Amino acid sequence: MRLLSLAGRVAFTFCMHRQNRFRTVQKVKDNHPRDVVTGLDLILHDVSLQFMTDRLPGCRLLSEEADCQFSVDDLRKGEWLIVDPLDGSYNITIDMPHYGYMAAHLLGGVIDSAVVVLPERDQYIVADKDTTLYAKPLSETPFFNNGPVYYAYSPTLSSVERKARRTLIDLIDSHSAGIYRYGSACDGLYQLLAGRHMAFIGHGVRLWDVIAFLPILAARKIQVRYVITSNGTTLIAGTNDQFVQAVENVFGEEQGLTLHSFDGGSLHIAPT
């Protein structure tokens, strides 16, 4: 499995950097208090870069903690490692358990493999072609048809997107057990996998917030609808087909987005 050793390197790094000095805020991005950088973000970025140098010669790195000039069209060709070194950075600064590491390896616009590491859950997941490896079995919590929904959205939504957000919040309130937001798309998607959420909505989020979970969700037979645009990635994943369709309708009617199923083939990237 191509990324199994990356999972080991990342898990070891989390274990070796538990001290508070690695968890303090070093930078706030664009004056958004929930978008912070810690020392551990930077260390995990370096671990990813070193792995790529060692194991993926010729690959390009797209990381939240790197200045990389690229267009989403670039993802259709070549080889990429797309990384969120620490999703939930603010949580780790206040000692909350909702955080994790995600990476996806792309070849010619197709996800070749993916890895997720959640140290507070004692879990890593590695997806490679038709195989998905878990450090420990998922809980036996049954999937909900009317459970809670995790809703992640960008801190910089446009006026049109904010209007759609209001509609989505009303929809979630009327058709589920309520909204969960705990500052980590990584942990939110994992709780969907574990059966604790009915659905996950990523609204204009960054690509690295969700891409590693696409093959993992598909392997668990969880419906995924998504589109990648130059302005962000929008994704719905869930076990209640009617709810997923209702959310998709909101994105279509209010933002003009056409969402696609994830089938393991080339990523659906909207024309720029």
Asked whether 173 and 179 are in contact (CB, 8 A), the reply is yes
Q: Which of 134, 167, 193 is the last residue of a domain?
A: 134
pLDDT tens for 157-206 read 999 999 999 999 999 999 999 999 999 999 999 999 999 999 999 999 99
Residue 243 has pLDDT above 70, yes or no: yes
Q: Indicate if 11 and 114 belong to the same structural domain.
A: yes
Amino acid 64: pLDDT:
86
Q: Which one, of 206, 227, 224, lies nearest residue 262 by Cα? A: 224
Helix 241-255, helix 159-175: angle, nearest 10: 160
Residues in Cβ contact with 253 at an 8 Å cutoff, skipping those fewer than 6 apart:
none
Name the domain count of the chain: 2
Amino acid 2: pLDDT:
84
Name the pLDDT band for 30 (thresholds 50, 70, 90).
low
Q: Which of 88, 110, 134 is the last residue of a domain?
A: 134
Q: Indicate if 46 and 128 belong to the same structural domain.
A: yes
| DSSP state letter for 146 | S
Q: Indicate if 103 and 204 belong to the same structural domain.
A: no
Question: Does residue 270 belong to any structural domain of this protein?
Answer: no
Q: Indicate if 108 and 181 belong to the same structural domain.
A: no
Structural domain harbouring 40: 4-134
Residue 224 has pLDDT above 70, yes or no: yes
Residue 241 has pLDDT above 80, yes or no: yes
Amino acid 114: pLDDT:
98
Q: Indicate if 200 and 245 belong to the same structural domain.
A: yes
Amino acid 160: pLDDT:
97
Q: Indicate if 90 and 22 belong to the same structural domain.
A: yes
Half-sphere exposure of 84 (CA within 13 A, CB side): 28
Backbone angles phi, psi at 189, to 5 degrees: -65, -35
Assign residue 169 the CATH number of its domain: 3.40.190.80
Question: Does residue 84 belong to any structural domain of this protein?
Answer: yes
